[in-house]
Amino acid sequence: MSRNSEQPKPPRLRAILVDDESPSRIHLAKRLKAHPEIEIVGEAEDVSSAFDLVSAERPDVIFLDIQMPKENGFALLPKLETVEPQPAVVFVTAFDEYAIRAFEANALDYLTKPVSAERLAKTILRLSKQLGPAKGAASETISPPPTETAKRLEPEDLVLLRERSLSMMVKAREIAAIESQGDYTRIFLSEEKILMMKQPLSLWESQLPAELFTKVSRSLLVNRKSVAKMERKNLLSWDLYLEGTKAPITLSNLESKRLRQLISQA
């Protein structure tokens, strides 16, 4: 082999930009020009056209804006589950600090507008490391830098919730309770809303505000501020009623006693 022979260059990562604002796409595209390892193969201005573009181009990564008028960027995520291989997703957002902590708590990579060259370089480096060696094994999201470790959320911080085609953000204090269901957890919200997410209860316990949430049992985490009332059901159990919900959650005598003591101490 000749000494002058060059090592083959790794394949470029194919990217699409999704943002309803043309100036934002132009700004990000200019930033990405400084990274020859990224090739922009298309742009879209809404979720529908973005999915059509993903289906046609099969990109390695999507730079996805969250705040779009017709459907927010989260609406694209369940659609990507039908794509093989699934592209990586980097969120681009103008959200405030409350939402940023939600991204960090869920190990989602993000860029804040206006996108800085330094922050983008860190994201591109991680993309190249995680997707470059095996482009066919792209994951749904890219983990944030090690220095951006998730912190426990505050009551006003936003939490990202996902169930099949539904993606939404709610404030941590708006979660009434979380119940373990094997590898999944049931999330109780107001107005009779219940979601199922594949996330262990232990992770929720480490993320949600300790001043609000109490682990009543090995399978139940309760927001003490959401407790409407507790009524004795029989000699062995109690019914727990949460604000905004009709169906009660059954507690044992020991669990109800623990919860009542914590509420009285608050």
pLDDT digits (tens, 9 = 90+) for 187-235: 999 777 888 998 899 989 998 999 999 999 999 999 999 999 999 999 9
If asked whether residues 30 and 70 sit together in one domain, one would say: yes
Q: State residue 136's pLDDT score.
A: 41
Residue in the structure block whose two tokens are 């993320």: 207
In the chain, which stretches have pLDDT less than 50? 1-2, 136-140, 143-149
Phi, psi of 41 (to 5 degrees): -110, 0
Q: State residue 148's pLDDT score.
A: 45
CATH number of residue 133's parent domain: 3.40.50.2300
| Average pLDDT score over the chain | 84
Picking from 85, 102, 137, the residue at the C-terminal end of a domain is 137
If asked whether residues 132 and 192 sit together in one domain, one would say: no
If asked whether residues 177 and 251 sit together in one domain, one would say: yes
Q: State residue 157's pLDDT score.
A: 83
Boundaries of domain holding 162: 158-265
Distance from C-alpha of 59 to C-alpha of 86, rounded to nearest angstrom: 9
If asked whether residues 195 and 114 sit together in one domain, one would say: no
- Per-residue pLDDT tens digits for 70-87: 888 888 887 887 888 888
**In contact, 57 and 16? CB cutoff 8 Å:** yes
If asked whether residues 33 and 127 sit together in one domain, one would say: yes
SS3 per-residue string spanning the chain: CCCCCCCCCCCCEEEEEECCCHHHHHHHHHHHCCCCCEEEEEEECCHHHHHHHHHHHCCCEEEEECCCCCCCHHHHHHHHCCCCCCCEEEEEECCCHHHHHHHHHCCCCEEECCCCHHHHHHHHHHHHHHHCCCHHHCCCECCCCCCCCCCCCCCCCEEEEEECCEEEEEEHHHCCEEEEECCEEEEECCCCCEEEECCCHHHHHHHCCCCCEEEEECCEEEEHHHEEEEEECCCCEEEEEECCCCCCEEEEHHHHHHHHHHHHHC
CATH number of residue 243's parent domain: 2.40.50.1020
Residue 20 lies in a domain: yes
If asked whether residues 133 and 98 sit together in one domain, one would say: yes
How many structural domains are present in the chain?
Answer: 2
**In contact, 241 and 229? CB cutoff 8 Å:** yes
The pTM of the full predicted model, rounded to 2 decimals, is: 0.64
Q: State residue 266's pLDDT score.
A: 64
Q: Give 229-237's long-range contacts (Cβ < 8 A, gap of 24+).
A: 230/256, 230/259, 230/260
Q: State residue 131's pLDDT score.
A: 77
If asked whether residues 124 and 26 sit together in one domain, one would say: yes
**In contact, 124 and 90? CB cutoff 8 Å:** no
Paired tokens of 37: 């390892």
If asked whether residues 125 and 175 sit together in one domain, one would say: no
